[in-house]
Each structure stands twice: as structure tokens, then as C-alpha cells.
Amino acid sequence: MAKEFRVSRSTTISAPPERILPLITTLRQWQKWSPWEGLDPNLERTYAGPDSGTGATYAWRGNSKAGQGRMEVVEVGADRVGIDLVFAAPMKAHNRVDFELTPADAAGTRVDWVMTGPQNLVMRLMSKVHSMDKMIGPDLEKGLRQLKQAAESA
């Protein structure tokens, strides 16, 4: 059983990176496209640090579906955003999220959303039944569809 997991999904967005990046690096913008929005209509959100870019943080606390956690933008480049992601509930986990933006076709951008992290014993046992790819992959796909819609309609 792997002690680390990696889940990745990608899409091509008909927009330049400079239109996509602010939707990722400005954590308040995640409400427009995050696949986890709507899991708890009473979700408590707290933002700290700069509005956008390195050091921006977002913490949430919600029902059992939304859970509780915190993320911080730790790396921003013209073609990459790195985020430190910590879940406190429903299960404790410390993961890394990367968005990679690569030029594609005429005016498009390929966006790869990658989540990596350690798998504790419980997660490794669960992965025998439901792999992290099957658990997280559909969320990343939904998020990329919504990011595409948000960026292309901006």
C-alpha cells in the first residue's frame, strides 16, 4: 500500500493564464468554482493575509460534509500555484495542491490540478475499497469544469 497519494485532473480553458490565475490565487474567488461550495449553506469562512497570492489563507468550518480545514497559498508563478491544505475534520490530513497552467491551442490554457499527500494507516486501508483517485478525482473534475466556466465567462 502506497504511503503517498497523487490525484490529478486536467482541462483546457479558452482563456489566458492571467484570467485564470486570479480565480485560484484569490481564495475568495473559490466560491465561484470550488467543487465543495454548497456542501454547507451555513459554512463559516475566515480569510487572512493578503487578498491574493502568497500568504493568502482561507479557513472553513462546516457540517460533516464540508468538514473543517485551512489552506494557504505558498507559491505563485506565471504558470503555477501551490497551496498548503490542512484538513482538521472529518479526517486529519496535510496535503499539497498544485495548479499548473500550460499554453494550449490558440488562446487556451491547459490547467492541471494535482493533489498529493501522505496516506495514514486508515487512509491506506480505505484505499483498498475506494482509492483516493476515485474519492477525490470527481471533485477535481467538477472544480475544473466550474473553473473553466468562471474563466471563460469573465
Please give the residue range of the domain that contains residue 114: 4-152
Predicted confidence (pLDDT) per residue in 98-116, tens digit: 999 999 988 899 999 999 9
pLDDT at residue 91, rounded to an integer: 81
Q: How many CB atoms lie within 10 A of CB 66?
A: 20
Q: Which residues of the chain have pLDDT under 50?
A: none
pTM: 0.91
d(CA 121, CA 43): 29
pLDDT at residue 131, rounded to an integer: 75
From the list 12, 53, 4, 7, the residue with the least C-alpha distance to 152 is: 12
From the list 4, 39, 25, 28, the residue with the least C-alpha distance to 142 is: 39
Structural domains of the chain, count = 1
d(CA 70, CA 92): 11
pLDDT at residue 108, rounded to an integer: 94
pLDDT at residue 4, rounded to an integer: 87
pLDDT at residue 128, rounded to an integer: 63
Strand arrangement of the beta sheet that strand 80-89 belongs to: 4-13, 108-118, 93-104, 80-89, 68-77, 57-61, 44-48
Looking at residue 133, which CATH number applies to its domain?
3.30.530.20
